[in-house]
Amino acid sequence: MGACNTKNGRPQPHDMEPQSGSGSSTGEAGDMVGQKVSGRPVINQSSLVLNNPGKIRDVYNIEDKKIGEGTYGQVCRGIHKSTKAKRAIKIISKAQMKNVRRFREEIEIMKMMDHPNIIKLFESFEDNKNIYLAMELCAGGELFDRIIEAGHLSEKSAAVVTQQILKAIFYMHERSISHRDLKPENFLFLTKDALDKSILKIIDFGLSCRFEPGRYMSTRAGTPFYVAPQVLMGRYDHTCDLWSTGVIMYILLCGYPPFYGRSDQEVLAKVKRGVFAFDDKEWKDVSADAKNLIRGLLRMNPKERITAEKALTHEWITKTAPRAVDVSLKTNPTLMDNLRNFRMQNKLKKAALHIIAGQLDESQIKGLRETFTALDENSDGFLTMEELKIGLEKAGLKKSKTDTDLQKIVEGMDVDGSGRIDYTEFIAAALDKRSYLSENACWTAFKVFDLDGDGRISLSELTKVLAEEENGVDTASAKELLKGVDLNGDGMIDFQEFMAMMKGSKGTEAAADSTSPSKRSPRRSFLSPRRGGA
């Protein structure tokens, strides 16, 4: 039996789009995304993803060949003209878009997402006809296609995939985001490596929304095979994502869905009943632990449905999927020094490093990603001081004499003031100088602050970018920060001064030398008459 239904074994695209009058697709609950630590200046991660006012074709060479297509647009491969970074460019037609405001909200949710198993948005562009998203390029293909190729997966491969899905869901739910359309087509592999070595990414946040615990959602959203019964009834919560995960896990292990029918109506009728079975022909060699987890995910009563956090500690996951080991920590002996040095940097440099870390390709941060995963003991996509302490002690890297010292290091890394370390915050703090001192990388960061594209950062621009949150930098603090970087005293930060700050140089001579071999303006040096990130 094929993996799903009809056309080429792929479900027909009858996604249950949000309907007017059935509840807002994003406004079902207030914005509950993270409480900030009061009294400390913070940097809002979303403000560091560039909304680019320039023309996308001034920044990217976009191939004509489509690598993906959806209801409202297409995806093509793009190469950044300055950095040569390869990106997936999603092109969405405004004319075909039912709700432009809704799509902008999707972008805002994507900006918030910061997890190894969630697609990364680098920057967005807009013109009269289209909205463009420059995203992480995943060359490994859809999870759906891997299932079609194999028929079904071994338990080890299925566990590796399911573990990555659950980690992303745990993270999203911790940030009060529900995806609401999880299905194999909405997962891409980063590379074509073997399943146990390839990184899986959740994509397409078109139906995602913020939720508030205890408050139900009502919009009928999802895809027939994977939708939870409560969604069909118009009264559900974020646990609908766990139901979809149960369906995906079932398909991974046998090659067909638990609720199968010849039409959408027949499928949905079976979903509403919620009755499924493990036929001996396909399931006799599958472990009892795997079946037990599927039963937990496909509980009809959402209150009895296993959470992502508990599913990650389920025996089938812990015994079958490989656990990150301490070896990745031991291969990075300078980690603690890098983390400690990051704490001493000014806020502008921290923000710049955060931008650079977010722009680096997987090949450039593979070791640091593995280190983060090894430290993240409960797999929620964040690091606490306790997790950092335990992980570093295990690896014999803890050089802090006191917990107070470690606490200061954690506070220094926590640039958004959430009280814990996000993925990119860790990468930014752990980066070696060689990774971030290239002019291309620093130019990308510089442009995020240079809002009007004139090649200089003004006080108002600095204040605007660094004061996006309630506890952000005020004008007086921004003025002091600018003064420390403005080496020629003209009240602006040019790229040479910015590079001097990144290098940790002192004096105008060092600043002038930072754009060697010549002292050209950043705009001529990068042959980029318009702004554009990497």
What pLDDT score was predicted for residue 101?
81
Is 60 exceeded by the pLDDT of residue 357? yes
Distance of CA 474 to the CA centre of its chain: 29
530 lies in some domain: no
Instruction: Answer yes or no: is 23 within a domain.
Output: no
The region that residue 176 occupies, defined by phi over 0 for left and psi between -120 and 50 for alpha, beta otherwise, is left
Q: Are 136 and 88 in contact (CB under 8 A)?
A: yes
The answer to the question of residue 27 being in a domain is: no
Tell me what the mean pLDDT of segment 409-424 comes to: 84
Coil/strand/helix, residue 513? helix
Do strands 86-93 and 177-178 pair parallel, antiparallel, or not at all (unpaired)?
A: unpaired
Residue 29 included in any domain: no
Domain boundary among 293, 320, 347: 320
pLDDT of residue 251: 95
525: tokens are 């040096």
In terms of domains, do 130 and 273 share one? no
Q: Name which of 524, 457, 449 is nearest 497 in CA terms.
A: 457
Q: State which H helix or E strand residue 61 sits in.
A: strand 60-69
Same domain? For 388 and 517 the reply is no
The C-alpha atoms of residue 48 and residue 357 are separated, in whole angstroms, by 11
Rounded to 5°, angle at Cα 514 from 511 and 518: 110
- Point out the domain boundary residue: 320, 339, 373: 320
CB-based contact 131:124 (threshold 8 Å): yes
Q: Residue 35 has what pLDDT?
A: 37
Same domain? 386 vs 457: no
Q: Which residue has the higher pLDDT, 511 or 418?
A: 418
Q: Annotate 111-171 with DSSP letters as a single string.
A: HH---TTBPPEEEEEE-SSEEEEEEE---S-BHHHHHHHHSS--HHHHHHHHHHHHHHHHH
**Nearest Cα to 251, choosing from 330, 165, 312?**
165
pLDDT band at residue 95 under the 50/70/90 scheme = confident
Mean pLDDT computed over 481-487: 91
CATH (domain of 375): 1.10.238.10
| Euclidean distance between CA atoms 206 and 460, whole angstroms | 34
Name 526's Cβ contacts closer than 8 Å, sequence gap at least 6: 82, 439, 440, 443
Q: What is the pLDDT of residues 16-28, one digit of tens each?
A: 443 333 333 334 5
Dihedral of CA atoms 373, 379, 384, 387 in degrees, nearest 10, equals -70
Asked whether residue 28 is domain-assigned, the answer is no
Q: 3-state DSSP call for residue 231?
A: helix
User: Does residue 428 share a domain with residue 449?
Assistant: no
Mean pLDDT of 44-55: 66
- Do both 168 and 295 map to the same domain? yes
Distance, in Å, from the CA atom of 223 to the CA atom of 218, rounded to the nearest integer, reads 15
Asked whether residue 177 falls in the same domain as residue 295, the answer is: yes
pLDDT at 301 > cutoff 90: yes
Joined together, the tokens standing for residue 43 give 């940097």
179, 268: one domain: yes
Please give the pLDDT value at position 140: 92
Say whether 422 sits in a helix, a strand or coil: coil
Range of the domain at 196: 7-18+140-320
Is residue 489 scored above 80 in pLDDT?
A: yes
Residue 35 lies in a domain: no
* Same domain as 273, residue 126: no
Same domain flag for 153 and 301: yes
Residue-wise burial string across 122-150, b where 16 or more C-beta atoms lie within 10 A, e elsewhere:
bbbbbeeebbbbbbbbbebbbbbbbbbee
Count of structural domains within the chain: 4
- Give domain status of residue 350, yes or no: yes
Assigned token pair, 69: 């297509």
- Look at strands 121-126 and 50-52 and give their pairing: parallel
Alpha helices in 298-333 (DSSP H): 308-312, 315-320, 327-330
Contact 92, 103 (CB under 8 A): yes
Q: Could you tell me the two tokens for 500?
A: 């001097």
- The residues assigned a catalytic role are 181
β-pair partners for 456: 494
In a shared domain, residues 131 and 74: yes
Give every CB contact of residue 8 below 8 A, 6+ residues apart in sequence. none
Please check whether residue 32 lies inside any domain of the structure. Answer: no
Percent of the chain with pLDDT over 90: 41
**CA-to-CA dists, residue 499 to 49, 151, 349, 379, 530, angstroms:** 20, 53, 10, 36, 20
CATH code, 105:
3.30.200.20
Does 232 lie in the same domain as 147?
A: yes
**Considering the chain, what is the average pLDDT of its residues?**
80
Q: Does pTM top 0.95 for this prediction?
A: no
DSSP state of 523: H
Last residue of a domain, one of 300, 320, 340: 320
Residue range 311-344, pLDDT digits in tens: 999 999 998 886 655 545 566 667 777 887 887 7
Which two three-digit tokens encode residue 94? 């405004």
Query: In which residue are the tokens 């006191």 written?
Result: 402
* 439-463 as b/e: b if 16+ CB within 10 A: bebbbbbbbbbbbebebbbbbebbb
Higher pLDDT, 523 or 231: 231
Question: Of 104-108, 139-143, 439-443, 471-475, which has the strongest mean pLDDT?
Answer: 139-143
Continuous segment of H or E residues that includes residue 187: strand 187-189
Q: What is the helix, strand, coil percentage profile of the chain, to 5? A: 45, 10, 45
Segment 247-259, tens digit of pLDDT? 999 999 999 999 9
Same domain, 169 and 293: yes
Q: Identify the CATH number of the domain in which residue 230 sits.
A: 1.10.510.10
